[in-house]
Amino acid sequence: MGEKSERKRQYILDKARAVFSEKGFKNVTMKDVVDACDISRGGLYLYFSSTAELFLAVLSQDVSEDDEEAVGAALSGDASAGDMLALFIKEQKKEILRKKNNLTVATYEYFSVNKVSAKENPLKIKFDTSVRIVEKLVENGVDAGEFICENPLGFARNLMYVVEGLKISSNTIGVTEENIDRELMYVLEGLVPEELNS
């Protein structure tokens, strides 16, 4: 794909993200995306054949942009494990509180009716990558004496399940920033040695 085609594809993805964020997944048609992009129907179909293909491309873009860089940073060890984990949690909290261009509703609408293999599921890929990042940060923190944790993988999975639950809750029942902080701190409090809590 040439540079101009790649820019056009990216433009379509950006506009589609805004449409999915506003309308969810099930209420979006290709015409909605055509209108948002101000292009011809044929112009859109050159890049994407359906709203499902377009939506997966939007989700996959989120995964590929964020995760490789994050994994590298987590593994580099340039900062303390505690600082890196705090930064990771801060980013997760921003995502939970995000209102503009939030794809949570569209994502759950899509995955409630479409089965995607685990290997091709952008949500699963992002979740697994986040678990690997947290697991590595916790292992580094244990090695450095910052944390106490017998099961870094179990801790990482638990933290990410809480984060995913908070993302859904923020878009369904509503959660405050204080609620988010309380739930995340509850998960994190067992990680720090008692003498550092005092």
Average confidence (pLDDT) per 10 residues, the chain, 198 residues: 87 94 93 94 93 91 58 63 87 84 82 83 87 93 93 96 90 88 90 60
Residues belonging to the chain = 198
- How high is the pLDDT of residue 63? 60
- How high is the pLDDT of residue 70? 56
CA distance 40 to 61: 23
CB neighbour list of residue 20: distance below 8 Å, 6 or more residues apart: 28, 55, 58, 103, 106
In the chain, the domains with their CATH numbers are 59-197 (1.10.357.10)
Q: Which of 91, 164, 92, 158 is nearest to 150 (CA)?
A: 158
- How high is the pLDDT of residue 194? 58
The CA-based dihedral angle spanning residues 9, 13, 16, 17, taken in that order and rounded to the nearest 10 degrees:
-170
This prediction has a pTM of 0.76
